[in-house]
Amino acid sequence: MTDLSKEGPPPGETEYQRVQRSDEFQGLRRAFRNFVFPMTALFLAWYFVYVLLANYAHDFMSIRLGDSNITVGLLFGLGQFVSTFAITMLYARWANKKFDARADALRREIEEGDL
Amino acid sequence: MSGNLTLAADGTAGAPTVVAAEATDIGNPWVNIGIFAAFVLVTLVIVFRASRQNKSAADFYAGGRNFTGPQNGTAIAGDYLSAASFLGICGAIALNGYDGFLYSIGFLVAWLVALLLVAELLRNTGKFTMADVLSFRLRQRPVRMAAALATLLVVFFYLLAQMAGAGGLVALLLGVDSRAGQSLVIAVVGALMILYVLVGGMKGTTWVQIIKAILLIAGAAIMTVWVLAQYGFNLSDLLGGAVEAAGPGGEALLEPGKQYGADSTSKLSFLSLALALVLGTAGLPHVLMRFYTVPTAKEARRSVVWAIWLIGIFYLFTLVLGYGAGALVGPEAINNAPGGVNSAAPLLAFALGGEILLGLISAVAFATILAVVAGLTITAAASFSHDIYANVIKKGQVKPDSEVRIARWTVVVIGVIAIVGGIFAQNQNVAFLVALAFAVAASANLPTIVFSLFWKRFNTSGALWSIYGGLVSCIVLIVLSPTVSGDEKAMFPGADFAVFPLTNPGLVSIPLGFLLGIVGTFLSKEKPHPEKFAEMEVRSLTGAGAEKATAKH
């Protein structure tokens, strides 16, 4: 087990603050934010591109594909479903494989400590 | 925004179009009532069985935190897919084509906010309510009070809209068209809801939602396959059928803009709605509360993953069902039917499978209202009892037993308010209430949740500015909007004080909510509490110290 307190806590520091300062936690936090923040920006941007196109680019969204009744707008709309499912699966995979083990290790360290 | 747009986006099955409805002349109301009664009977038995294990506050509010991810995910779908999602969106697609499809996308994409930013962190830091998280590192009493008020308002708006919609649904599906008859049905729905929640607590409510979600999604799946089979499983042919049935100009069904593309104001209104939908879901208190019913953050994640699949697949079904109703029933028949736009799905069921399928689909629509109102009621009860009574009034010095007792009384009071409000509102255009609920959730709740989870500097003053600012701006803007006055479809068509042109306040109130959170934070001289932030941040990411599930009984 890693020693979280090798420098000794500054006076008045709580255990949670000590964990918060640790490299393990900072790494975990960075990994989490590096995944969810860009992903959130991505899906929100893609959603608003879609909404703005549907709102202000009627001609483009009304283009038919070949001689079918499927329009570009319908494909974009279905694309929102596909991207939502894809991001869901990506996040679940990442969290299950990369995030959980590190979070659990820290949790055990905290709960088995003298907190 | 036209009445239809409000309707589909807003949760009420009934409201404007159903107001003038007459008794349905298709199907057999007794078949519908019989199937619905069977649903009530089965769920009541399950609720009574579940109630035997209701002992602690965690049992009553959070179902003992013992539900699995898939169970909770299904219950979330049951909680979220209101009658509007089914009847409203099918009808909107049948009559307005592509524009109807647009709502379902906002409702679905919104779940990514919950998945990535909220669900797991909330499960790790809170106990029963949204206010648990918001007040974690801020001054308890003022923040809890504000969060509880926002919760109660959102729930009340949503509940009233659902109850008023129930009256309209009765006219459509059961052939009850007198005001007294509709009031009686609202009272029955309210009484059943009180019974479910009082007896079953969160556990019973969850099972009702699970059963309802399965029925709703299975019913929609059967109808979808049935419709597609008629067109050789070719989506393009189905769309062609809808265009043909619509007659001249039917091509517009495949293009955006048929419904809200009229002018630049209606386009801005739609933009505003789109913003409120995508940011509102993760701030809806009854959605947030569901994350506490699972044992760990990992299960909360699995819940949302399941919910996203179920909700997404359901909305894909509604695309087929909407165009199917347009093609097989035809817009004229839908418009002329009692219930208008809302009758598209039931009429399609009748066209496909006759009386029995109609009965099944009608019963599912009722079960939907029942399950949604039960979820709302337990959320309001938890918020009043846990936040206002136990933590604000009694300052946390209260036995869990008496907290649950207060919660049960709150259930009764809220049930009665919902019945009276529903009866009072049944001939009013209250469809804007759900739009308002989403807007308040996005403007008052979400900024505070996000700031308190991710922004170290955030403080009590910021939270209060954000919650009250978001809340007040939403309500003021909606009162001053064309949904309340100055429009023939408005709540008060005779008056005109609509100085705000958009039908949804989100475009203004959501950025304002975030902005006020920042301004309020910087204006305050409150000393920061780094130790509380450390505790919250470490707990939220690692799950250390998170509430445990109660032992299996």
**Of A92 and A112, the one with more pLDDT:** A92
The distance of B457 to chain A (nearest Cα, Å) reads 15
Interface test with A, best of B104, B109, B238, B454 (most A CBs within 10 A): B109
Residue B257 is predicted with a pLDDT of 80
Asked if A85 and B255 come within 8 Å (Cβ–Cβ), the reply is no
Residue A7, min C-alpha distance to chain B (Å): 18
Average of per-residue pLDDT across B385-400 = 87
Least confident of A84-98, B4-18, B232-246: B4-18
Share of chain B above pLDDT 90, in %: 46
d(CA A34, nearest CA chain B) in Å:
12
What pLDDT is attached to residue B425? Answer: 77
Cβ neighbours of B543 in A, within 8 Å: 103-104, 107
Q: Band of the pLDDT at A1, cuts 50, 70, 90?
A: very low
Q: Which of A33-37, B345-349, B530-534 has the highest mean pLDDT?
A: A33-37
SS3 for B485? Answer: strand
Q: Do B108 and A80 touch (CB under 8 A)?
A: yes
How far off is chain A from B192, nearest CA to CA, in Å?
A: 36
Q: Do B102 and A51 lie within an 8 Å CB cutoff?
A: yes
Q: Which pLDDT belongs to residue B553?
A: 45
Chain B residues near residue A58 by CB distance under 8 angstroms = 255-257, 261
> Distance (Å, rounded) from C-alpha B85 to C-alpha B255?
21
Give the model confidence (pLDDT) of B173-182 as tens digits: 777 777 888 8
pLDDT for the residue B39? 84
Q: Which among A73, A84, A91 has the least Cβ separation from residue B312?
A: A84
More confident residue, B87 or B17: B87
Average pLDDT (A37-49) is 97
Interface probe, candidates B253, B275, B542, chain A, greatest A C-beta count within 10 A: B542
B311-362 confidence digits (pLDDT tens): 999 999 999 999 999 999 999 888 887 777 788 898 999 999 888 888 888 8
Distance between CA atoms of residues B370 and B192, nearest Å: 8
- Beta carbons within 8 Å of A49's beta carbon, 6+ residues apart: none
Q: In which band, very low, low, confident or very high, does the pLDDT at A5 lie, cut at 50, 70 and 90?
A: very low
Confidence of residue A7 (pLDDT cuts 50, 70, 90): low
Go through B415-433 and write b for each residue having 16 or more CB atoms within 10 A of its CB, e for each that does not.
bebbbebbbebbbebbbbb
Average pLDDT, stretch A42-61? 94
Is the pLDDT at B4 greater than 60? The verdict is no
What is the predicted pLDDT for the residue at B27?
A: 66
Q: Where in the sequence is the domain holding A75, given as residue range(s)?
A: 15-112
Using CA atoms, how far residue B226 sits from A40, B230, B278, B424, in Å, is: 37, 7, 31, 40
- Whole-angstrom CA distances from B193 to A79, B290, B373, B479 are 38, 18, 7, 30
Question: Which amino acid is it at B401?
Answer: D
Which residue is it, tokens 């199907």?
Answer: B27
Residue of A nearest to B115 (CA): A88
In contact, B9 and B89? CB cutoff 8 Å: no
Q: Is A103 within 8 Å of B105 when comparing Cβ atoms?
A: no
Q: Using CB atoms, which residue from A69, A73, A110 is nearest to B243?
A: A69
* pLDDT recorded at residue B20: 35
Taking CA atoms, what residue in B is nearest to A34? B116
**Rounded CA gap, B237 and B466, in Å?**
50
Q: Provide φ and ψ at B47, rounded to 5°.
A: -65, -40
What sign does the CA torsion over A27, A29, A30, A34 have?
A: positive
**In this structure, what token pair is assigned to residue B172?**
């459509």
Q: Cα separation of B43 and B78, whole Å?
A: 14
- CA nearest to A96 within chain B: B298
Of B498 and B65, more confident? B65
- pLDDT(B477) > 70: yes
Provide the sign of the torsion angle of the four alpha carbons B53, B59, B62, B66, taken in this order. negative
CATH classification code of B18-423: 1.20.1730.10
Which H/E stretch holds residue B544? none
**B522: pLDDT confidence band, cut at 50, 70 and 90?**
very high
CB contact under 8 A, B105 and A16: no
The pLDDT score that the predictor gives to residue B367 is: 84
Q: How far is CA B151 from CA B148, B204, B385, B465, in A?
A: 5, 22, 12, 16
B136 has a pLDDT exceeding 80: yes
User: According to the model, what pLDDT value does residue B430 have?
Assistant: 62
* Rounded average pLDDT over B406-411: 91
For B38, the token pair is 């069977």
A82-108 confidence digits (pLDDT tens): 999 999 999 999 999 999 999 999 998
Q: Give the pLDDT band of residue B435 (cuts 50, 70, 90).
A: confident
Q: What token pair was written down for B193?
A: 């809801």
Q: What is the pLDDT of residue A8?
A: 56
| More reliable by pLDDT, B394 or B508 | B508
A26-30, A64-68, B276-280: range with lowest mean pLDDT? A64-68
Extract the tokens encoding B126. Answer: 């809170």
Q: Is the pLDDT of residue B23 over 50?
A: no
- Chain-centroid distance, C-alpha A33: 7
pLDDT given for residue B14 in this prediction = 36
At B552, the pLDDT band (50, 70, 90 cuts) reads low
B272 to chain A: closest CA residue: A51
pLDDT one-digit tens code per residue, B151-172: 999 998 888 888 877 777 776 7
Q: Is residue A8 part of a domain?
A: no
For residues B367-389, average pLDDT: 90
Closest CA to B58 of B551, B552, B550: B550
Q: Give B302's contacts in chain A (Cβ within 8 Å).
A: 92
Using one digit for the tens of pLDDT, what is the confidence trace for B198-238?
888 899 899 999 999 999 999 999 999 999 999 999 999 99
Which of the residue ranges B53-67, B78-92, B457-471 has the most confident prediction, judged by mean pLDDT?
A: B457-471
Which of B7-11, B88-92, B179-183, B509-513 bottoms out in mean pLDDT, i.e. has the lowest? B7-11
The β-bridge partners of B429 are none
pLDDT class of B25 with cuts at 50, 70, 90:
low
Chain B hits for A91, Cβ within 8 Å: 115-116
Residue A43 binned pLDDT confidence (cut-offs 50, 70, 90): very high
Chain B's closest residue to A26, CA to CA, is B538
- Whole-number Å distance between alpha carbons of B58 and B367: 26
What are the structure tokens assigned to B153, written together? 């308002």
* pLDDT value of position B526: 87
What's the mean pLDDT in B453-472? 95
Give the residue carrying structure tokens 């109807």. Answer: B100
Chain B interface disruption, residue of A69, A76, A106, most B CBs within 10 A: A69
Residue range B229-253: average pLDDT? 90
Is pLDDT of B82 > 60?
Answer: yes
Q: How many domains does chain A have?
A: 1
- Answer for the pair B100, B92: CB distance below 8 angstroms, yes or no: yes
What is the average pLDDT score of chain B? Answer: 86
Residues of B in contact with A85 (CB under 8 A): 308-309, 312
The nearest CA of chain A is from the CA of B381 a distance in Å of 32
- The packing angle between helices B89-96 and B98-113, to 10°, is 140
Tokens of B228: 């597609």
Mean pLDDT along residues B70-88: 89
Whether residues B236 and A58 touch (CB distance < 8 A) is answered with: no
Would you place residue B443 in the very low, low, confident or very high pLDDT band (cuts 50, 70, 90)?
Answer: very high
**CA of A107 vs chain B CAs: smallest distance (Å):** 5
For residues B194 and B411, the answer to whether their CB atoms sit within 8 Å is: yes
What is the model's pLDDT at position B18? Answer: 36
| pLDDT for the residue B12 | 37
Residue of A nearest to B109 (CA): A84
pLDDT score recorded for residue A115: 46
Determine the Cα–Cα distance for residues A70 and B233; give it in Å rounded to an integer: 14
Please tell me the predicted confidence (pLDDT) of residue B355: 84
d(CA B33, CA B386): 37
Nearest beta carbon to residue A54 from set B102, B302, B538: B102
What average pLDDT does range B110-135 have in this prediction?
93
What is the reported pLDDT for B2? 34
Q: What is the pLDDT of residue B1?
A: 31
CB B115 within 8 A of CB B358: no
The pLDDT score that the predictor gives to residue B252 is: 87
Tokens 């079904």 found at: B317
**CA–CA gap between residue B404 and residue B202 (Å, rounded):** 12
Domain boundaries, chain B: 18-423
